[in-house]
Each structure stands twice: as C-alpha cells, then as structure tokens.
C-alpha cells in the first residue's frame, strides 16, 4: 500500500483544502493540454467539496466532469448522483463544465453501461482527478462486497469502461467505472469523514481479504499513490 493521509479539524477545512488542490491540478491540465477530466463520487460526504470547487475560477468549458459510479435511476431521482452533482458542483463558475452522466435512458443497466463506456471513452485514459468515497462496509465506487461483477470490476487487465454491479447492500443496480479506468489517475483521492469510516479504513489497511473489503484492492493495486483526505 502507498498512501498519504491528510487530516483536518472540520469537514469545511477539508473541503477548502481538497478543492484548492483539485483546482490546481485541473488548471495545470487545461493549460498543458487544453482539457482536463475529473470523476467524482456521490453520497452526502462530498457536498461541501463540490460547492467549494464550483467557486474556483477555472477553464470549466474545457473540463469534463463525470461520476465514478451511479445508481440506475433517472437524474430527477433523489437517489441520483447526477442530481447531486448538478445541484452542488455544476453551479457558480462550474456551470460551463462538460458533464458526462453514467446513467443513460436505456432499457437495462447493461445497455446503459455500454452507452456510458462509449460516451466516457475520451476522458478516462487516464483521468486527471478521481475522487473516491467509501462506505463503512469497505465498498468504494460500486465495488461492493459480494457484488456480482466484483472480480471483473477490480481486474486491472480489463479494458477501461463502465460495468454494472448488483449487491445485497447496494440498493438499486449500479453503474460503475471499473478500477482499470481509475487506478492511474494523475490525482487519486479517497475522501472520507467521521470516526466510523476512519475505523473502516484502518481495518482495511491492516487486513488482507480484498473480497471482504474491496477498498483494500484499491489501496493495494492503485498505480497512483492514494491521497486520503479525512475529517472527524
């Protein structure tokens, strides 16, 4: 494992620091290549970070934003990560960013995953920034313990793309980038908050069973060292 942990006193301080670092990297990429890409996670944890990042003065029209994973629900659903990003990140200066959703209005999650793979192909090889979250069960992205496509999702020999994931604790069927799409991002972050998630991370760091806690596979297999941002 190769990771660095950044500890903050409050979630607000974390959001400010993480948004500044992400903005610096996106700015450098747009100035160097004329374009940049970032994949973000859902849940309640990243809201402050999204809001802080949206206020940075960047070349947003040349920055592609997508999701690490998504539920197979339409964007108007209150369970949608698309909606979360639209309401919290694609605001203020970031309104002009190019958003590439994973949910596609297809007949099945499998069809949606195929479409999302095509639509994101140009921005994930590699991503400039990937922000991962983590659940207290040790899942990250939609790499759930017991997930039906977990082995494939974590296999770095798989081609980059989006696949489906169903698991007992996942709720709706999911769409998720596989780890081969995420592991070599220029800046790979695990953003977690609270004592329970810190305890989960420490358990993952001290154990060996990657199927039991898929975050272990991420920490073990990532090509880019993982920067962990944590606040109580």
Predicted confidence pLDDT, tens digits, the chain (232 residues): 579 999 999 999 999 999 999 999 999 999 999 999 999 999 999 999 999 999 999 999 999 999 999 999 999 999 999 999 999 999 999 999 999 999 999 999 999 999 999 999 999 999 999 999 999 999 999 999 999 999 999 999 999 999 999 999 899 999 999 999 999 999 999 999 999 999 999 999 998 888 899 999 999 999 999 999 999 9
Total domains in the fold of the chain: 1
Residue 209 has a pLDDT of: 86
**Domain holding 195: CATH number?**
3.40.50.1360
Q: How many whole angstroms separate alpha carbon 44 and alpha carbon 194?
A: 12
- Expressed as residue numbers, the domain containing 200 is 10-214
Domain assignment present for residue 199? The answer is yes
Residue 126: predicted pLDDT: 98
Domain assignment present for 134: yes
Q: 35 in a domain, yes or no?
A: yes
Strands of the sheet containing 98-100, edge to edge, are 3-7, 226-231, 187-193, 129-132, 36-40, 63-67, 98-100
Domain assignment present for 1: no
**Does a structural domain hold residue 205?**
yes
pLDDT, residue 222, reads 97
In a domain, residue 224? The reply is no
User: How far apart are the C-alpha atoms of 25 and 38, rounded to whole Å?
Assistant: 10
For the chain, give percent helix, strand, coil, nearest 5.
40, 20, 40
Q: Is residue 220 part of a domain?
A: no
In a domain, 118, yes or no: yes
> What pLDDT was estimated at residue 206?
92
């Amino acid at each position: 494992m190769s990771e660095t942990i950044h500890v903050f006193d409050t979630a607000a301080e974390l959001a400010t620091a993480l948004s500044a670092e992400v903005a610096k990297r996106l700015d450098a990429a747009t100035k160097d290549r004329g374009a940049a890409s970032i994949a973000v996670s859902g849940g309640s944890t990243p809201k402050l970070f999204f809001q802080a990042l949206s206020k940075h003065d960047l070349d947003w029209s040349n920055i592609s934003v997508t999701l690490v994973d998504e539920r197979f629900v339409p964007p108007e659903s209150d369970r949608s990560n698309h909606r979360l990003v639209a309401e919290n990140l694609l605001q203020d200066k970031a309104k002009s960013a190019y958003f590439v959703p994973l949910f596609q209005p297809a007949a099945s999650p499998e069809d949606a995953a195929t479409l999302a793979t095509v639509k994101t192909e140009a921005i994930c090889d590699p991503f400039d920034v990937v922000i991962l979250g983590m659940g207290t069960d040790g899942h990250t992205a939609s790499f759930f313990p017991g997930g039906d496509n977990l082995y494939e999702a974590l296999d770095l020999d798989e081609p980059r793309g989006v696949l489906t994931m169903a698991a007992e604790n996942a709720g709706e069927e999911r769409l998720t980038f596989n780890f081969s799409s995420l592991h070599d991002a220029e800046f790979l972050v695990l953003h977690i908050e609270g004592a329970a998630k810190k305890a989960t991370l420490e358990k993952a760091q001290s154990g060996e069973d990657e199927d039991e806690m898929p975050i272990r596979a991420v920490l073990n297999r990532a090509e880019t060292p993982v920067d962990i941002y944590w606040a109580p």
